[in-house]
Amino acid sequence: MQRENKKINKIDGRNLKIAIIVSKFNVDITEKMLQGALEVLRINKVKKNNIEIVWVPGAYEIPLACQKLAKEKKYDGLVAIGCVIKGDTDHYYYISQEVSRGIMDVMLKFSLPIGFGVITVNNLKQAKDRANERCNKGKEATEAVLDMTYAFPFKSIVR
How does DSSP assign 46-88, residue by residue? --GGGEEEEEESSGGGHHHHHHHHHHHT--SEEEEEEEEE--S
Q: How far apart are CA 20 and CA 151, in angstroms?
A: 20
Q: Please name the helix (run of DSSP H) or strand (run of DSSP E) that holds residue 41, with its range, or none.
A: helix 27-43
Whether 16 is catalytic is no
pLDDT in tens, the chain (159 residues): 454 555 556 788 899 999 999 999 999 999 999 999 999 999 999 999 999 999 999 999 999 999 999 999 999 999 999 999 998 888 889 999 999 999 999 999 999 999 999 999 999 999 999 999 999 999 999 999 999 987 765 554 443
Q: Which CATH superfamily is domain 18-149 in?
A: Lumazine/riboflavin synthase (3.40.50.960)
70-80-76 Cα angle (round to 5): 40
What pTM was computed for the model?
Answer: 0.90
Question: What is residue 120's three-state secondary structure?
Answer: strand
Neighbour count for residue 47 (Cβ, 10 Å):
14
Catalytic residue among 91, 101, 109, 155: 91
